[in-house]
Amino acid sequence: MFNRTKRYGVLVLMGLLPAAAVAGDPIVPNEIINTMLCPGEGDYCYWPELAAVPETLDRVIWDGSFTTLASTAAGPGGRWFGNAGSNEDFADPQWRSVKTDADNNGYLMLAAWPGPPSAWVHGQTFGQTADGPVILEGCDVISLTFRARVLNHDCQQRSWTRVQLVDCSGDASSYELIDDQILNQDFEFFYVEVTDSDWIDCRLELMVNNESLPLDVTNWAPIVTFGIEPDAIGSDIEFHIDDIEINLARKGASPRLNLLDQSSAEQCHGPMGTEITWTFMTDGHYLGGGEDSTSALATGSLHDKADVNHDCAVNVLDLLAVIEDWTQDTGSGDVNCDGDSNILDLLEVIGDWGWTCP
């Protein structure tokens, strides 16, 4: 179980942001730029220019449900950047913006067009969210959940998401991307598995290598990217995203829900164009509404790890689940998350026999 002690207290940008960010001048929102950022100063030295999250925010992602009516650069839109497609014509919010539906619920919209449009949001650190240290232990995962739909869907490998984790220790110029060796993640991009225009729930679990546990993630912060592969001029394909949440959880039976990895998704894309950066998403580009459907950062699991089927009781059903997964390196039967379902997992179930949810 992850340990949270309470106390007081995409794509990587790849160097594409205004030179003004280096000089400390405010970043101008809704602009498309191609100047280099932080030459020789680290990939994330722009981080202090992001909008400051509210001190009482108990979520890693600010306004993941897009409820803010009109964000300024000091609001949640001041934590978003993106790829703008192929040229400065993409500065129009019809290609990347926060909109509302007929029920006044806010959502992020990305439209397909030549070039690779995307949008990415910077979360606050787990320690800032928890107001204290955050330690991952066995079977703990970092989870991304969101709702999505694709209008005029044409193939599987069109709309995608990506999670990157940044170590925000020290000065911003020394922030570093977390090494892939720490996370059990074979693919970087995951594609939304859709067949129609209905909203679906999506989930991605990032699990830490056992050799790295216990792991202090207090100073880690996520960058969550959503993108849509380019299509021909005049395309009417849209990618809608809502209720974005980064949280901590126990490993589930399946690490993905309605998401396909790069090897299993049908490929499709149009002309690539030039990747240029789109700054903060504010004012007329960020017009949200509705209610927040995301959850606060979890303080612990309500389930005992031996409660394999998560029915709030440790009993014979959990014992049978371990036996069903016997010698498998994945699945819910690996109670202690050592990469195998075996006698040690049976002993975990027997040791917690009779446990029920508090």
Count CB atoms within 10 A of the CB of residue 188: 15
At 267 the pLDDT is: 74
Are 85 and 162 members of one domain?
yes
Domain presence at residue 293: no
Please tell me the predicted confidence (pLDDT) of residue 25. Answer: 58
Q: Does residue 138 sit in the same domain as residue 235?
A: yes
| Nearby residues of 305 by Cβ (< 8 Å), 6 or more positions away | 1, 138, 139, 250, 335, 336, 348, 352
Pick the residue with more confidence: 342 or 13? 342
Note the pLDDT tens digit of each residue in 291-326.
999 999 986 554 577 777 777 788 998 888 888 888
Domain that holds residue 332: 302-358
Rounded to an integer, what is the distance from CA 216 to the centroid of its chain? Answer: 19
The total number of residues written for the chain in this structure: 358
Whole-angstrom CA distances from 71 to 145, 214, 221 are 23, 38, 22
Q: Are residues 19 and 155 in the same domain?
A: yes
The average confidence (pLDDT) of the chain is: 83
- The yes-or-no verdict on residue 8 having pLDDT over 90 is no
Q: Which residues pair with 313 in a beta bridge?
A: 356
- What pLDDT does residue 16 have? 39
* Residue 161 belongs to domain with CATH number: 2.60.120.260
Q: Which residues pair with 208 in a beta bridge?
A: 183
In a domain, 30, yes or no: yes
Domain CATH for 319: 1.10.1330.10
- Asked whether residue 280 falls in the same domain as residue 332, the answer is no
Is residue 291 a part of any domain in this protein? no
What is the total count of domains within the chain? Answer: 2
Degrees to nearest 5, angle at CA 161 with 158 and 167: 155
Count CB-CB contacts under 10 A for residue 37.
23
DSSP state string for 239-275: EEEEEEEEEEEE--S-SEESEEETTTSPB--------
| Neighbour count for residue 184 (Cβ, 10 Å) | 16
Alpha helices in the chain (DSSP H): 20-23, 126-130, 316-324, 343-351
